[in-house]
Amino acid sequence: MASSTSLSEVAAIDILHAELGRGAFGSGWLAKRGLVGIGDDAAVLPRLPGRSVWSIDTSAEGVHFAREWLSLEQAAARATTAAISDLAAMGAKPVAALCALTLPKQISRAELRSIARGQRTIAERHACPVIGGNLCRGERVEFTTTVLGSAKRPLNRNDSRSGDEVWLVGAVGMAAAGLRVLQALKARGTGPSERALDPAQRACVRAWREPHALTQRGQLLVGRARALIDVSDGLASEAGHVARASGVCVLLNEAALRQSASPALCAVAASLLIDPLTLMLYGGEDYALLATGPARKRPTWATPIGRVVPGSGAKLQPARGGAPRRLRGGFDHLRS
Amino acid sequence: MASSTSLSEVAAIDILHAELGRGAFGSGWLAKRGLVGIGDDAAVLPRLPGRSVWSIDTSAEGVHFAREWLSLEQAAARATTAAISDLAAMGAKPVAALCALTLPKQISRAELRSIARGQRTIAERHACPVIGGNLCRGERVEFTTTVLGSAKRPLNRNDSRSGDEVWLVGAVGMAAAGLRVLQALKARGTGPSERALDPAQRACVRAWREPHALTQRGQLLVGRARALIDVSDGLASEAGHVARASGVCVLLNEAALRQSASPALCAVAASLLIDPLTLMLYGGEDYALLATGPARKRPTWATPIGRVVPGSGAKLQPARGGAPRRLRGGFDHLRS
């Protein structure tokens, strides 16, 4: 409605089209797979095997990321990872993505290229090209990414059964520790230069900045796990979701959780004067996977961290013994 | 990051889930069709016939709509229509939608219900339920809707051929006329009460407020049209898109266009001192369809408004004779 930007819509689409179609997705990659991408009213995909699994996820500046701690390339990569992780959480294989971008009018060509480069890096890792989208003007950068994939037998949250083991795939707590390291740096006024960080701190900051979506592990859990969810908002919250959806109690084992904490997490938590367990239970954005399934079907790369019992909600079995205590919390995307 | 809203994420999801699952989509409608909706990391769809056609579209407060002229229910319905229209523009049958909602913290339960009701009204019309989404906090209301559908043979923009007729399905210009009526009312300071509007003005305001996506007509054009696009940004702009994508010149016929203008459009344009042709060529948001195809395959409900000739770009054949003149313009979603 108001003043003009330096970048026209046509120029922006050209930049995105060129950058998203480079590298692994160049030279007919899409066409060979029957994918029709950018340049029409909608994208076209070939007939998908099995059932289609489909998600949408928004990552907004000021809510999910701040540009002082993430480059636009990293923010775009992270947004794409978060969206793809929803498919990992269903045991699905991602096929393609569309992204609706909101861009402030000051955005430059170089910044837009960085955004597309960040998306492509993650898209290549999962063979899941960004084949279309939408552009809108706004005050903040926003990525709303929809991902389509397929699964022979998608894994839901609501099939967990009493008697199942609870499995953790990937690490939890490190991303939250990394964010706190950046916040502490800022509070101390030394800025986000991060030169003084030790290797453990650097590992945690990297876990927050460059998370991985565990799509292959997710697919390998089909036929083994009964219920699956990704840990975007903290283990306590996700365990609660599985418990509610399945009508069971997900009982996490404190001793097993503490044992699974990485040395880097323990070191950083100690330096921040936080219990690593707090970060594991309530810290988000790691994109690990939480599953439940029969003990005999547990893959070697899944860590048993509890069991499913009759009852309701997520609970923690204290390491020192005594009655399980109820876990609350999680991230509220409207309030927080 | 800042203060709390009255509505938690869980409460908001409950409201959306209840309202989107009412009416036509109640009592097992989704389950019967193999659709798994709200409540997991991703939605699940059965195997779709033909090829999958997939779009994403954003409608943002202050860019695409203003709350002074549209209720939230109307804004949500309009956003859903705009998203579904992208599938009409491919000749595809919509199957389901997901919506990423951005909500200001002041949003009330009643407002959220209105949003879901607006989405459901349109979803029911196209048998295309909203089966999931995402919630994010922001300063303005935003709808980012992704729609998935199927088509045996999707119609693109780039298959138009010299010799084709150009067809218009539905009306163009009325929505732009309706918006100008509201703007004129506001400029006169009488506010948007609209009691004084005559039937022609009311018809145009309705065309802007409650547009229809022509999905059935779009599907019926498969096997008849060669190229298809929906008119979201004005006929000149869309004709230009088809011309560019197909490497042809789309020559619109002024006399035919003027003849196709509805009496309501002509009356309102006259009262606004605007040439109706200007509204037809440059006014957007009608969601009519523009197709090209062999004359013998033209359906009775399509109006011939030009022809495809060798050359480039969109041109207008003047009614008074003389050389065709080049048409420019259209809406720039980043600049406007």
Q: Can you tell me the distance from the alpha carbon of A4 to that of B211, in angstroms, rounded to the nearest whole number?
A: 28
Query: Is 80 exceeded by the pLDDT of residue B46?
Result: yes
Confidence band of B9 (pLDDT split at 50, 70, 90) = confident
Q: Walk across the sheet containing A288-293 and list its strands.
A: A227-231, A288-293, A165-169, A303-309, A249-253, A313-317, A325-326
Q: Can you tell me the distance from the alpha carbon of B270 to that of B264, in angstroms, rounded to the nearest whole number?
A: 10
- Residue B26 confidence (pLDDT): 82
**Residue of A8, A48, A90 with shortest CB distance to B52:** A48
Nearest-Cα distance to chain A for B137, in Å, is 5
| Yes or no, beta carbons of A56 and B5 under 8 Å apart | no
Cβ proximity of B119 and B84 under 8 Å: no
Q: Assess A99–B contact: CB distance below 8 Å, yes or no.
A: yes
Query: Is 80 exceeded by the pLDDT of residue B193?
Result: no
Q: Can you tell me the distance from the alpha carbon of B184 to that of B282, in angstroms, rounded to the nearest whole number?
A: 18
Q: Can you tell me the distance from the alpha carbon of B54 to that of B38, in angstroms, rounded to the nearest whole number?
A: 19
Answer left, alpha or beta for residue B131, where phi above 0 means left and psi between -120 and 50 means alpha: alpha
- Residue A189 confidence (pLDDT): 75
> A14 to chain B: which residues are within 8 Å by CB?
none
Among A41, A61, A131, pick the best mutation site for testing chain B contact (most B Cβ within 10 A): A41
Rounded percentage of chain A residues whose pLDDT exceeds 70: 94
- Residue A47 confidence (pLDDT): 87
For residue A102, what are the CA distances in angstroms to A44, A54, A105, A133, B15?
A: 23, 21, 10, 11, 27
Mean pLDDT of A322-326: 95
Q: Can you tell me the distance from the alpha carbon of B214 to that of B229, in angstroms, rounded to the nearest whole number?
A: 11
Q: What single letter denotes the amino acid at residue B96?
A: A
* Helix (H) or strand (E) run with residue B308 in it: strand B303-309
Q: Which of B103, B143, B72 is nearest to A335 (CA)?
A: B103
Query: Is 80 exceeded by the pLDDT of residue A192?
Result: no
| Yes or no, beta carbons of A51 and B55 under 8 Å apart | no
> B41 to chain A: which residues are within 8 Å by CB?
55, 86-87, 89-90, 157, 229-230
Cβ proximity of A172 and A235 under 8 Å: yes
More confident residue, A262 or A2: A262
Strands B142-151 and B93-103: antiparallel
- Residue B278 confidence (pLDDT): 96
Cβ proximity of B255 and B124 under 8 Å: no
Query: Is 70 exceeded by the pLDDT of residue B7?
Result: yes
- Residue A2 confidence (pLDDT): 36
Classify A244 as helix, strand or coil. Answer: helix
Mean pLDDT of A267-286: 95
Cβ proximity of A218 and A299 under 8 Å: no
Q: Can you tell me the distance from the alpha carbon of A192 to that of A71, in angstroms, rounded to the nearest whole number?
A: 12
The ipTM estimated for the assembled molecules is: 0.92
Query: Is 80 exceeded by the pLDDT of residue B265?
Result: yes
Nearest-Cα distance to chain A for B54, in Å, is 5
Q: Assess A186–B contact: CB distance below 8 Å, yes or no.
A: no
Q: Can you tell me the distance from the alpha carbon of B2 to that of A301, in angstroms, rounded to the nearest whole number?
A: 39
| Yes or no, beta carbons of B54 and A43 under 8 Å apart | yes
Q: Assess A332–B contact: CB distance below 8 Å, yes or no.
A: yes
Which pTM was predicted?
Answer: 0.93
Chain A contacts in chain B segment 259-298 (CB below 8 A): none
Confidence band of A331 (pLDDT split at 50, 70, 90) = low
More confident residue, A32 or B326: B326
> B99 to chain A: which residues are within 8 Å by CB?
56
Say which DSSP state B334 is in. Answer: T
Mean pLDDT of B126-134: 95
Answer left, alpha or beta for residue B56, where phi above 0 means left and psi between -120 and 50 means alpha: beta
- Helix A109-125 with A9-20: angle, nearest 10 deg: 30
Query: In sequence order, what E strands does B61-114 have?
Result: 93-103
Q: Walk across the sheet containing B303-309 and list its strands.
A: B227-231, B288-293, B165-169, B303-309, B249-253, B313-317, B325-326
Confidence band of B285 (pLDDT split at 50, 70, 90) = very high
DSSP string, B253-283: EHHHHHHHS-HHHHHHHHHTT--HHHHHHH-
For residue B15, what are the CA distances in angstroms to A215, B69, B109?
A: 31, 25, 7
Query: Is 70 exceeded by the pLDDT of residue B190?
Result: no
Q: Can you tell me the distance from the alpha carbon of A9 to that of B25, in angstroms, rounded to the nearest whole number?
A: 37
3-state secondary structure A91-115: CCEEEEEEEEEEECCCCCHHHHHHH
pLDDT in tens, A280-290: 999 989 999 99
Query: Is 90 exceeded by the pLDDT of residue B156?
Result: yes
> B230 to chain A: which residues are within 8 Å by CB?
41
Q: Which of B231, B289, B279 is nearest to B258 (CA)?
A: B279
- Residue A194 confidence (pLDDT): 76
Mean pLDDT of chain A: 92
More confident residue, A41 or B99: B99
Q: Which of A170, A204, A202 is nearest to A274 (CA)?
A: A204
- Residue A186 confidence (pLDDT): 84
Q: Assess A47–B contact: CB distance below 8 Å, yes or no.
A: yes
- Residue B336 confidence (pLDDT): 59
Q: Assess A106–B contact: CB distance below 8 Å, yes or no.
A: no
Q: Can you tell me the distance from the alpha carbon of A155 to that of A86, in angstroms, rounded to the nearest whole number?
A: 11
Confidence band of A191 (pLDDT split at 50, 70, 90) = low
How many contacts, defined by CB atoms under 8 Å, are there between A and B?
A: 239
- Residue B40 confidence (pLDDT): 84
Q: Assess A2–B contact: CB distance below 8 Å, yes or no.
A: no
Mean pLDDT of B286-293: 97
Chain B contacts in chain A segment 228-257 (CB below 8 A): 229-230, 245
Mean pLDDT of chain B: 92
Q: Find the range with the poorest average confidence among A23-37, A106-120, B99-113.
A: A23-37
Query: Is 90 exceeded by the pLDDT of residue A257?
Result: yes
Classify B252 as helix, strand or coil. Answer: strand
Confidence band of A277 (pLDDT split at 50, 70, 90) = very high
Q: Can you tell me the distance from the alpha carbon of A276 to that of A270, in angstroms, rounded to the nearest whole number?
A: 8
Query: Is 80 exceeded by the pLDDT of residue B194?
Result: no
Spell out the residues 6+ positions from residue B2 whose beta carbon is closer than 8 angstroms to its own.
Answer: none
Chain A contacts in chain B segment 77-96 (CB below 8 A): 86-87, 89-90, 92, 96
- Residue A7 confidence (pLDDT): 86
Residue matched to tokens 């059964």: A161
Q: Can you tell me the distance from the alpha carbon of B124 to that of A325, in angstroms, rounded to the nearest whole number?
A: 45
Q: Residue B63's closest chain A neighbor by CA? A: A1
Q: Can you tell me the distance from the alpha carbon of A65 to that of A77, in angstroms, rounded to the nearest whole number?
A: 12
Q: Can you tell me the distance from the alpha carbon of B289 to that of B284, in angstroms, rounded to the nearest whole number?
A: 12
- Residue A335 confidence (pLDDT): 67
- Kindly report the number of other CB atoms within 10 A of residue B295's CB atom: 11
